[in-house]
Amino acid sequence: MTNSYTKTRIRKITRHFGLIPLSSKTFASFYRKNAIVQIKTESGTYAIKPFFRNLFLRSSTIHQIKTTANYIQLLMDSGFSYMPKWLTSNSGKLWTLNQGRPFYITDWIKGRNLENQKDFEEIGRALATLHTTSSRFLYTKGPFTPRQIRTWQIQDRLFRRRMTKAIQANEQNHGWYKKYGKHCKMISDRAWADLRKPEIVDLFEKELNRPALIHNDITSPNVIISDDNQLFIIDWDHIKVGSIYVDVAKTLMNTTQFNPDFIQSLLKGYEELYPLDRTERKLISSLYGLPREAWQATRFPNRPRSREMIDIMEQTWLLRLKAMDLLEEWTNQ
């Protein structure tokens, strides 16, 4: 897709939204070279985003974009202010098809990334607002947290098999496994034991009647503080009905960089709007401790991205352990 967004193609897409681009520029993301297109028009600056199907779901790309657009519409109708406005196409939908690929357009948010404790308090409030707002109009029931846990359990089992095989075969990365693999196993074992406790299992049952929308991919690059100091969460392609506890744990891991001040600020902001009891805190703490990066990185050990993830884990290992201790203290407060 090196030259997939020609000026002609961009004009065709924007025309469906009543826009005429004056100029355009393509930006890369962590995973895609042509992740987003910035267009400047007489009415403002916008972002064109291609929508990609989630390969873990059996549904089609069209079904997935329809579901995503419905959730986005519900949030916009409820006044949720922490995401860029999605534009409506001439057909009345929040997306359009071009060459078989769904595209959507949002306002372009100019600003900076998360920097200080105040920013992290605000991302906590944004996350809590998402969870509490969406729970008022959703009626879907399902084992939200247990479903995610089962997926992670499978990844953990595969990690352990790869670790054993690598050490026995004296593979190139066996040294990392010997140094950190056993620690990852110990951390996971402790988390799995906590997740089997009766009070946690009871919480799973209560969650069945409290469905909520989750962003499911809040990372540092996906949070922007605009020039007028408004916080925006971008890249809503993975929005779904799911576990708020998983959403909080993943956000903590993917944004705070194991900084204790940032962790405490995010949780403070979240609990201003969504107070958590001791069992809920314990669940988040246990989910946070799972070494998901190790599972992902060792799945394809020869890829540059995997090697980078392993290097980051080595550099931040002690910080990770201290962050886990901090969350354990938070649980017992």
Length of the chain counted residue by residue: 333
Q: CA torsion angle for 172, 319, 153, 307 (degrees, to 10)?
A: -30
**What does the domain layout of the chain look like in residue ranges?**
7-108, 117-332
What is the mean pLDDT of the segment spanning 267-286? 97
**Does pTM surpass 0.95?**
no
Measured between alpha carbons, how far is 25 from 284 in angstroms, rounded to an integer? 40
Which of 135, 141, 162 is closest to 301 using CA atoms?
A: 162
Topology agreement, domain 7-108 and domain 117-332: no
Answer yes or no: CATH 2.30.42.10 is held by domain 117-332: no
Query: How confident is the model at residue 139, as a pLDDT?
Result: 78
Structure tokens at 162: 């790869």
Find how far residue 122's CA is from the centre of its chain.
Answer: 17
Strand blocks (E) in the chain:
23-27, 36-41, 44-50, 96-98, 101-107, 111-112, 212-214, 223-226, 231-233, 240-242
Strand 101-107 and strand 44-50: the pairing is antiparallel
Residue 165, pLDDT score:
84
pLDDT digits (tens, 9 = 90+) for 29-86: 766 777 899 999 999 999 999 998 887 778 899 999 999 999 999 999 999 999 999 9
Query: For residues 47-62, b (16+ Cβ closer than 10 Å) or e, as one string?
Result: bbbbbebeeeeeeebe
Task: Quote the CA–CA distance of 109 and 103 in Å, as a whole number.
Answer: 18
Q: Is the pLDDT of residue 312 over 90?
A: no
Kindly report, residue by residue over 119-171, the tens digit of the pLDDT.
Answer: 999 999 999 999 998 877 787 777 889 989 999 999 999 999 988 888 887 77
Give mean pLDDT, residues 173-179: 77
List the one residue out of 59, 63, 54, 17 whose CA is nearest residue 39. 17
Architecture of the domain defined by 7-108: 2-Layer Sandwich (3.30)
